[in-house]
């Protein structure tokens, strides 16, 4: 009888400790403040970060844009603290630093993201955007094509951007192929259709088109 009671007490203590461990919250620090989180809060942090990033994109008032961008950074950073393997956190931080023109930090986090998963299309797309905005067309093309080959083949903006890069690099046939892909995804874009027709009629090797386009 006594042994049975002991076993019951031991089992109760184990269960109690397990429940306590599951419900006990943890803390992370950011800018001198402590933030409480528990298991399952990663998605909440990511949603808050993405929401503020979207609000930053649509805001018109400079002070509001600054506020939303800082809030996005806060939640992406907190997410990176509670889950060092979160590729979404690394992509988000790269995007924030990109907007802030902090190139070194943006590249660091984009590299972190592609190192976590070299085939992740979102990580490659945003890294490509980073390079494209800085006129590094070769690096941009590499990451755009990686995104394309890993699930983003039907992304209008990606096809259009690859068309632009190949056009600037004087590979007109490949440029037209990507422009044509883009036109199939957005068939009401008359400007793009006009561009394709213009390139069709262009004797590229005997013109100074590329010189002037640069």
Q: For the CA atoms of the chain, what is the radius of gyration?
A: 25
Residues of the chain with pLDDT > 90: what percent? 67
Answer yes or no: do 193 and 147 share one domain: no
pLDDT band at 211 (very low <50, low <70, confident <90, very high): very low
Domain extent, residue 101, equals 40-153
Enumerate residues 6+ apart whose C-beta is below 8 A from 207: none
Span 121-164, pLDDT tens digits = 999 999 999 999 999 999 999 999 999 999 999 999 999 999 99
Answer yes or no: do 44 and 149 share one domain: yes
Span 91-122, pLDDT tens digits = 999 999 999 999 999 999 999 999 999 999 99
Answer yes or no: do 23 and 46 share one domain: no
Q: Average of pLDDT values for 56-77? A: 97
The per-residue pLDDT of the chain, averaged, comes to 84
Answer yes or no: do 111 and 182 share one domain: no
pLDDT band at 200 (very low <50, low <70, confident <90, very high): confident
Q: How many CA atoms lie within 13 A of 112 on its CB side?
A: 19
Number of domains in the chain: 3
Answer yes or no: do 66 and 100 share one domain: yes
Scanning 59-171, the segments in alpha helix (DSSP H) are 62-82, 87-99, 103-116, 121-133, 137-147, 156-168
180: pLDDT strictly greater than 80: yes
Q: Which of 121, 137, 153 is the last residue of a domain?
A: 153
pLDDT band at 80 (very low <50, low <70, confident <90, very high): very high
Answer yes or no: do 50 and 121 share one domain: yes
Report how far residue 81's alpha carbon sits from residue 27's, in angstroms, rounded to the nearest whole number: 10
Report how far residue 89's alpha carbon sits from residue 50's, in angstroms, rounded to the nearest whole number: 10
How far is it between the farthest Cα atoms of the chain? 100
């Amino acid at each position: 009888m006594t042994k049975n009671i002991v076993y019951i007490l031991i089992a109760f203590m184990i269960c109690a400790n397990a429940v306590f461990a599951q419900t006990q919250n943890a803390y992370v620090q950011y800018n001198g403040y402590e933030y409480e989180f528990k298991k399952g809060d990663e998605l909440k942090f990511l949603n808050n970060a993405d929401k503020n990033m979207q609000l930053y994109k649509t805001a018109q008032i400079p002070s509001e844009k600054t506020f939303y961008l800082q809030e996005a950074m806060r939640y992406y950073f907190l997410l990176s603290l509670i889950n060092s393997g979160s590729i979404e956190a690394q992509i988000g931080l790269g995007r924030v630093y990109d907007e802030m023109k902090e190139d070194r930090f943006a590249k660091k986090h984009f590299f972190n993201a592609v190192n976590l998963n070299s085939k992740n299309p979102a990580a490659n797309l945003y890294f490509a955007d980073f390079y494209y905005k800085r006129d590094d067309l070769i690096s941009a093309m590499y990451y755009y094509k990686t995104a394309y080959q890993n699930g983003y083949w039907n992304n209008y903006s990606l096809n259009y951007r690859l068309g632009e890069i190949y056009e600037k690099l004087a590979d007109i046939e490949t440029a037209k192929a990507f422009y044509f892909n883009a036109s199939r995804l957005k068939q009401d874009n008359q400007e793009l259709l006009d561009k394709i027709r213009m390139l069709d009629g262009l004797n590229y090797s005997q013109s100074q088109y590329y010189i002037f386009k640069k």
